[in-house]
Each structure stands twice: as structure tokens, then as C-alpha cells.
Amino acid sequence: MRIAELPANEAARIDALHSLRILDTPREERFDRLTRLARRLFDVPMAVVTMIDVNRQWFKSCVGLGDATETSREVSFCAHAILHEEMTIVPDATLDPRFSGNPQVTGEPFIRFYAGCPIKSESGFTLGTLCLVDTVPRSFDADERALLKDLAAMVEQELTAVRMATIDELTGISNRRGFDALARHALANSRRMDWPACMLYFDLDQFKQINDRFGHAEGDAALVDFAALLSSSFRESDVIARLGGDEFAVFLTNADLAESDTVLAHFAQSVREFNVLRPRPYALAYSVGVVQYDAARHADLAALQHSADALMYERKKTRRAQAG
Ligand SMILES: Nc1nc2c(ncn2[C@@H]2O[C@H](COP(=O)(O)OP(=O)(O)OP(=O)(O)O)[C@@H](O)[C@H]2O)c(=O)[nH]1
């Protein structure tokens, strides 16, 4: 078995993949219908949409592989397929030195045939593949190649649709819909693992004044700056979003109130430094409410969000009163 080398643009490719925020999201019918269709059209037992992450291949959708959601990158056929512009066809894996000793060939699920068509991001990075797998050797003619390419293009369209529906166009972080999906998933995970989780609800102070005094474009720039400060201060595993207007939220997994306060202090310092080092005609200021998830108080994510919003509003009122 040969382990695939890394693509030349690996760091930028991983950034592009992570910015889609699709990894570890739940299964979606829009992708499942394409893998089901592929399995039927090509009469293969397995069809998968994979994303090649740093150390693993993660399945956005798979039929015929049971409940598997990922494998290590080392044993991934698709880690090889993403190195090529054209699709990768392996008629018989036992005869291919890259794969003959692969545990997925020598053992379950006994892969023999593989066809993987690269899936690209809108910016042109190969994120993963749409692949077909069979347990018997087979050939793949020109018509079949064209058909697989068409299906891969449909997967790319769905990825674009997901991005457009879940990412805030101005700031590039998740929008409300993206936040709801990712944070709900993260909350379910925290409950299962019995981890603490916190919701942080931010609202910029006096934001309307930035628009009124310096123009809408400057207001937009302030929102972009704030989103970038959030993104650089929190972990990649945290869910960061612009919920709308000048409201932002962060969902912290495996963090209690004390840890949230530490992270928030670090964030406040970053904002202070930003205001000094990148002087704009105004300073960024915000109010924030932090609430730790408590199953007895919060029936669901919406209830948690509501508590954090209410607390933020209390803080804002206090700040306003103090400002006089
Ligand atoms: N530039 C810009 N402005 C926006 C955008 N979305 C909403 N706004 C403006 O954001 C402002 C939000 O107002 P508020 O949060 O009520 O005002 P504020 O001045 O921050 O008030 P406080 O939160 O009480 O300090 C409104 O004036 C909206 O028009 C956007 O995408 N870009």
C-alpha cells in the first residue's frame, strides 16, 4: 500500500474545506439522493461523497457502507484521487501497487473496483470526491465516465447551495441558518458526552452611529472586522456566526462559564488592540451575554439563545446607563 502524498496546495485546500463548515454536519437528503442515484445508475454496492480533511476522509453521504462516517486519510482511496484533475479509475485494486495492501482491499469491505471523481470548491480547490466502489473488478467506459462527471457536478452545485444558504455573504462566517444547524448538532454532541457548553450573544454598541456618520460601507467594514476578530479569537471547533444586523453568536463546546470568561477576556483584549492598532474613525464596542447550557432551564437551542440574548440586553442597558 502506498500512502498518498499531500497536494501542493494542501494548506489552502484545507482552509477552503474548513470554511465551508460542512465537516461533521448531519446527513442531508440533497446529497443522499445523489449517492443513491449513483449506486443505482452504476449498479455498484457503495457510493460515497467524501471530503478529505487533515487526517481523515469524512463522508457527507454514503450508501452501502453501513453507519461509517469517516476513515483515516492513510487508507483513503480518495486521498489519491484528489491529487489528479481527472477522475481516478482503479479496475482491480489487488493489481494496483497503491492499493493492493490496503486494509480495505485485504479486509472489509474488500474493495476491488474504485472510481473517484474530484469535487471542487467554487474557488477551484479539490475538497474530496464522489466515488463508486465495488467488491468485484470491473471496467469503466467513456459514457460511464461522463455520467459520473455529471453527478459530481451536481454534488458541487449542492455544496454551493449549502454555502449560499448557511454562510453570511458579507463576513464569510455562518449566518443564522448555518448557526442553528451547527450549534444544534454541537449541543446534541455536548449532551451526549456530558460536556458543558456555553452560548455567547454579541451585539455591537452604537453601530447605527457608524453607519450614520461614516456611511454604510464603513458600517460593513466594521462588521467584517468584528467577524474576523471573533474568528481569530475562538477555536475552529466553536460555532461562530452573524445572526443578522450587528448581532453575532458563538457556541462553545466543552467549556463552562469560567472558561468562557477567560476566552472572552482574551477576545476583549484583541478588540482593544485592534482599536489601537487599526485606528478607524470609531472604536468597535460590543455588549455580550454568556449563558451556560442547563438542561433544566433550556429546552432547546432556541431557549439557550434567548437567555443569552436577554442577558446581553441587560448588560447593554447597564453600559448605556453608565455612559450616561
Ligand atoms: N452597514 C450595515 N448596516 C447594517 C447591516 N445590517 C443592519 N445594519 C444596521 O445596523 C443597525 C443596527 O442597529 P441597532 O443595533 O439597533 O443600533 P446600535 O446603534 O448598535 O444600538 P445599540 O445596540 O443600542 O448600541 C441599523 O441601523 C441597521 O440599519 C449591514 O449589513 N450593513
Closest by Cα among 13, 60, 18 to 154:
60
Ligand 1 center–CA 219 separation, angstroms: 8
The verdict on the CB of residue 215 being under 6 Å from ligand 1 is no
**103-139, pLDDT tens digit by residue?**
999 999 999 999 999 999 999 999 999 999 999 999 9
Each residue of 185-199: pLDDT tens digit?
889 989 988 999 999
246 counts as catalytic: yes
ipTM value greater than 0.85: yes
Give the predicted TM-score (pTM) of the model: 0.78
Domains and CATH numbers, the chain: 10-164 (3.30.450.40), 176-323 (3.30.70.270)
Answer whether 245 contacts ligand 1 (Cβ < 6 A). Answer: yes
The answer to whether residues 230 and 247 touch, using CB atoms and an 8 Å cutoff, is: no
Contacts of 303 (CB under 8 A, 6+ apart): 297
pLDDT of residue 163: 87
Show the DSSP H helices in the chain as ranges: 10-20, 29-42, 78-81, 103-106, 142-166, 176-193, 207-214, 216-233, 257-277, 301-323
> Which residue stretches of the chain have pLDDT < 70?
324
- What gap in Å lies between CA 86 and CA 308, rounded to an integer? 49
CA-220 nearest atom, ligand 1: 1
Q: What is the pLDDT at residue 66?
A: 82
CA of 257 to the centre of ligand 1 (A): 28
Nearest CA residue ID for atom 32, ligand 1:
220
Nearest CA to ligand 1 atom 3: 219
